[in-house]
Structure 1
């Protein structure tokens, strides 16, 4: 194997740093703007650092913003329910597709990919009519049903690849040693699936936590809004957008996702790579 020259290595490192800065700059700008005053935000010359800023934007979220606590409760409830329910159904479906041979198995996998291509906006009317007929608009259960339906195709597809990468011989060996089929699965196979479950769980968490358009259509009452929809109340046609409050709210909304990702990043990387190359 030929060694990589120092010049090539240095160039690759510099390119990686440049890409990192490009992706990190919007996050930095959001956090920096959240600490700036309205005068600084609207000034012709941008303020590149938040030093000497104030917490007025964050205070305004709780004083001018109506329903932050309700929106936080709704987002947490919907997101956690979505992750749990989606992982449960996706796990069972991935096992069925990967371990069993049945009529329509390949068609089922193809349908999963086709469902991903349907734009969300094309389903608004039918989704709203469905929830309205069941009296589930402005409810956590109703929004959770829609989020689970949106998350399931990708979740099943990812878990399918990961389950297919685990040899059945592991369970058979455990059964030879005296385990039942159920015991062999939960003692041997299930722990090995943890990285895949974490990877797909992170995807479901981020999608449900940050989703805006479906929540805007389904959750119309002020006390039932999710955090992204609640944040849109800081934009007004006459006064314009309160960018300080919007950036402060966006920063607060991003914190749970960052914390959750940091807690599971090790298992997430393993799950994504295994699920992407096997199956």
Structure 2
């Protein structure tokens, strides 16, 4: 006697399986964040316990006080904000203009430029350390925030141009042409019609650029002295010849993560729309 399985029951089991897989991925990805937060509030002796407990047994704010006492906290954070916001502002403006040229204008060598943008993203950052160091030294930009901003722009601009180009391509040209028929100039049609539709994509690329610039460590370590260090390099002050202060380090990392969390909460709707709109053919 054969049994019949209703399609609805099959879909329910499939959905439950995907939900379980999603929950597993969430647990694996979120556990380091959870461990950072719990360690930040643990007493220092519990943070180095060889047999740590999954749940904190006691909580303290002393680690945050200790983190603020080590070297200068607000100086590196301020420099990181300056670098990250400058990279985002310049990258979005330049990337938008470059993406517009690649998406809307036909010129000789356009495909070569597009391939070149993809090729640049495939070059490992470590491979460019020495050339970047020598170039900034020749330009007098070593140990300057402006030099670090220029360096970060070379990493973030290719992604920005490529992503924004995809958004512009998916916006029908007929919208601009209709606006121009109604009396708008080409610039006016772009500002009034295309630019508002690009807002989600610009938010998504801006958040990506901010996170990349905020979290970058290698170039900030090599191109800046301790006097001009950024927040990621500042975390290295917790490791000394006497050992590593893990609890204050996790407290410092928690404070460093707050700007990213706040930024994401402010723009999460626009970012979600931007990440999905690029996959829709207009």
What interval of TM-score do these two structures reach, taking the shorter chain for normalisation? over 0.9
Partners in 2 of 1:203 and 1:196 — Cα distance? 11
Q: Could you tell me the TM-score, scaled by structure 2's length? A: 0.93
Question: Deviation at 1:178?
Answer: 2.0
Partners in 1 of 2:208 and 2:280 — Cα distance? 18
Match of 1:267 in 2: 270
Within a 5 Å distance, the mapping from 1:41-56 to structure 2 comes to: 41-50=47-56, 52-56=58-62
Q: 1:162, 1:278 within 8 Å by CA — same for their partners in 2?
A: no
Partners in 2 of 1:51 and 1:206 — Cα distance? 33
Q: 2:43, 2:58 within 8 Å by CA — same for their partners in 1?
A: no
Q: 1:71, 1:223 within 8 Å by CA — same for their partners in 2?
A: no
Match of 2:3 in 1: none
Structure 1 runs of 4+ with >4 Å offset:
276-279
Residue 15 of structure 2 is aligned to residue 12 of structure 1? no
Question: Deviation at 1:11?
Answer: 2.0
Q: 1:33 aligns with which of 36, 39, 52?
A: 39
Residue 79 of structure 2 is aligned to residue 74 of structure 1? yes
Partners in 1 of 2:136 and 2:83 — Cα distance? 15
Match of 1:22 in 2: 28
Within a 5 Å distance, the mapping from 1:210-225 to structure 2 comes to: 210-220=215-225, 222-225=226-229
Partners in 2 of 1:5 and 1:133 — Cα distance? 63
Q: Relative to 1, partners in 2 of residues 1:198 and 1:272: Cα closer, same or farther, differing over 3 Å? A: same
Q: Could you tell me the TM-score, scaled by structure 1's length? A: 0.94
Match of 2:103 in 1: 98
Two-structure CA RMSD over aligned residues (Å): 1.5
Q: 1:5-35 deviations in whole A, cap 9, x for unaligned?
A: 3222222222211211111111000000011
Report SS of the residue matched to 1:5.
helix
Match of 1:228 in 2: 232
Partners in 1 of 2:114 and 2:11 — Cα distance? 44
Residue 138 of structure 2 is aligned to residue 133 of structure 1? yes
Partners in 2 of 1:51 and 1:192 — Cα distance? 50
Q: 1:208 aligns with which of 213, 222, 235?
A: 213
Match of 1:59 in 2: 65
Q: 1:41, 1:47 within 8 Å by CA — same for their partners in 2?
A: no
Partners in 1 of 2:12 and 2:281 — Cα distance? 34
Q: 1:181 aligns with which of 163, 181, 186?
A: 186
Match of 1:251 in 2: 254
Within a 5 Å distance, the mapping from 1:137-148 to structure 2 comes to: 137-148=142-153
Give the gaps of 5 or more residues in structure 2. Answer: 1-6
Report SS of the residue matched to 2:278.
helix
Match of 1:108 in 2: 113
Q: 1:70, 1:223 within 8 Å by CA — same for their partners in 2?
A: no
Give the gaps of 5 or more residues in structure 1. Answer: none
